[in-house]
Homo-oligomer: A and B are copies of this chain.
Amino acid sequence: MAIPDSSRAAVVREFGAPIGIEEVPIPREIEPGAILTRIETCSICGTDVHLWQGSLATKVELPVILGHEMVGRIVAFGAGSQRDSFGNALRTGDRITWSHTSCGSCYFCTVAQEPTLCQYTRRYMYDSLERFPYLMGGFSEYGYVLPEAGRIRVPDDVSNELASLSSCALRSVMNAFDVLGAVGASDVVAIQGAGPLGLLATAVAKTLGARRVLTIGAPDERLAIASAFGADETISIEGRSAEERLEHVRSATNGRGADIVMEFTGHPQAFSEGLELIRRGGRYVVVGQLGSGTVTIKPSLIVSKQLRILGSLSGRAKAYWKALDFIAAHKSHIPFERMISNRYALDTVNTAMERMRNFAEIKPMIVIASH
């Protein structure tokens, strides 16, 4: 198959403005270690909305190609890149997902062993399309996998759609559970948020044997999915005050509060509420707080409850591997596909994004190519 000169892609040139479909150049040369792919599917993430709207704490270098949860089929290799990050052989025509880079030779990669915090990381969707290799986003016909980007072969029995939601949403959730440590068989886990991450975390927490999983969010359709994913109880935030939610969690935990709270909402206020929901001595994993907002808290709660508050940023390469393995292991009995609320062509990305912004979607797909 001949590789064209350019790729159609959904481009953000101005925060909050309509997204344009543009032709972005395809690199002529593929560096050693890099891969060129034909993107088939890219799911939409809440972060795409935040980036589009200009509300992220992290710097974005406009113009950018939107989208970062992409599955592509390998079209061409740079020299020496025919293994994925886990040692699996790669061949032209194989499907992969990929993600931000870590340089492997900075303080954070080598000493801290936290490649997610790499100081030279390049993140898909945050880099200008005007710089090589241009194709740094997922809503695009072609994608470029940087030499230092983690990449993983998608198992044949995992669909594009499940693979794309594994590439960021479930990867972030698996990282959060790594950061958390053990879930005990008697632990009650409260999940803040019924978006894609909250729902997937519900499934993981229950699979890991949590005594009870309480999922807090809205609307009811999402809470119904939470139940299908294993939530023992769901707590709607609609028409319920923070006090009522706290009361609900306490009554489900002998008055103590949840052993573990996990935040996936993105609302600063949720952090303050989480400090109340958790029991003394409990653990609080914070994942969704990526925006530039602030919140007022009582820091005495951290001391008087002797809390452990654990931030989890995106996911290390190993979290990818765990995400795809989790999907492969559990897709027969957890109806992950219920999260996939819609499918859109690349041309209708504005409709998709607008609906995502209005919480009318859970995990919609931009379907770019079918095999």
* Contact among B103, B204, B271, B292 for A185, CB-based, below 8 A: B204
Chain B proximity of A185: nearest CB distance (Å): 5
Whether, in the assembled complex, A186 has its beta carbon less than 8 Å from a beta carbon of chain B, the answer is yes
Task: Decide if A268 touches B299 in the complex (CB within 8 Å).
Answer: yes
Q: Which residues of A in the span 298-312 have a Cβ within 8 Å of any Cβ on B?
A: 298-300, 302-312
Please measure, in the bound complex, the distance between the C-alpha atom of A321 and the C-alpha atom of B308, giving whole angstroms: 23
Whether, in the assembled complex, A280 has its beta carbon less than 8 Å from a beta carbon of chain B, the answer is yes
Task: Decide if A321 touches B111 in the complex (CB within 8 Å).
Answer: yes
Question: With A208-B185, A290-B304, A313-B304 as given contacts, are A108 and B299 in contact (CB-CB < 8 Å)?
Answer: no
Question: With A292-B298, A300-B290, A321-B110 as given contacts, are A306 and B116 in contact (CB-CB < 8 Å)?
Answer: yes
Please measure, in the bound complex, the distance between the C-alpha atom of A178 and the C-alpha atom of B177, giving whole angstroms: 17
Whether, in the assembled complex, A132 has its beta carbon less than 8 Å from a beta carbon of chain B, the answer is no
Contacts of A268 in B (CB 8 A): 299
Task: Decide if A114 touches B306 in the complex (CB within 8 Å).
Answer: yes
Contacts of A25 in B (CB 8 A): none
Contacts of A299 in B (CB 8 A): 268, 271, 286, 289, 293-295
Contacts of A318 in B (CB 8 A): 110-113
Whether, in the assembled complex, A211 has its beta carbon less than 8 Å from a beta carbon of chain B, the answer is yes
Contacts of A85 in B (CB 8 A): 104-105, 110
Please measure, in the bound complex, the distance between the C-alpha atom of A182 and the C-alpha atom of B283, giving whole angstroms: 14
- Chain A interface, number of residues (Cβ within 8 angstroms): 79
Contacts of A119 in B (CB 8 A): 87
Contacts of A296 in B (CB 8 A): 294-297
Whether, in the assembled complex, A209 has its beta carbon less than 8 Å from a beta carbon of chain B, the answer is yes
Task: Decide if A311 touches B322 in the complex (CB within 8 Å).
Answer: no
Whether, in the assembled complex, A331 has its beta carbon less than 8 Å from a beta carbon of chain B, the answer is no
Task: Decide if B107 touches A298 in the complex (CB within 8 Å).
Answer: no
Contacts of A114 in B (CB 8 A): 280-281, 306
A-side residues, CB < 8 A to B, are 32, 57-58, 83-87, 103-108, 110-114, 116-117, 119, 150, 174, 177-179, 181-186, 204, 207-209, 211, 254, 256, 268, 271, 280-281, 286-300, 302-313, 316-318, 321-322, 325-326, 329
The contact sample of 12 A-B pairs, CB cut-off 8 A, is A87-B105, A107-B254, A108-B280, A181-B181, A185-B204, A185-B207, A186-B325, A209-B209, A268-B299, A289-B302, A292-B300, A304-B313
List 17 additional contacts besides A186-B326, A297-B297; criterion CB under 8 Å.
A86-B105, A117-B281, A117-B305, A117-B306, A178-B184, A184-B322, A185-B325, A186-B322, A207-B209, A208-B209, A271-B302, A286-B299, A292-B300, A302-B311, A303-B311, A303-B313, A307-B311
Q: Which 9 A-B pairs have the closest CB atoms?
A: A182-B182, A289-B299, A309-B309, A302-B311, A208-B209, A57-B300, A87-B106, A271-B299, A117-B280
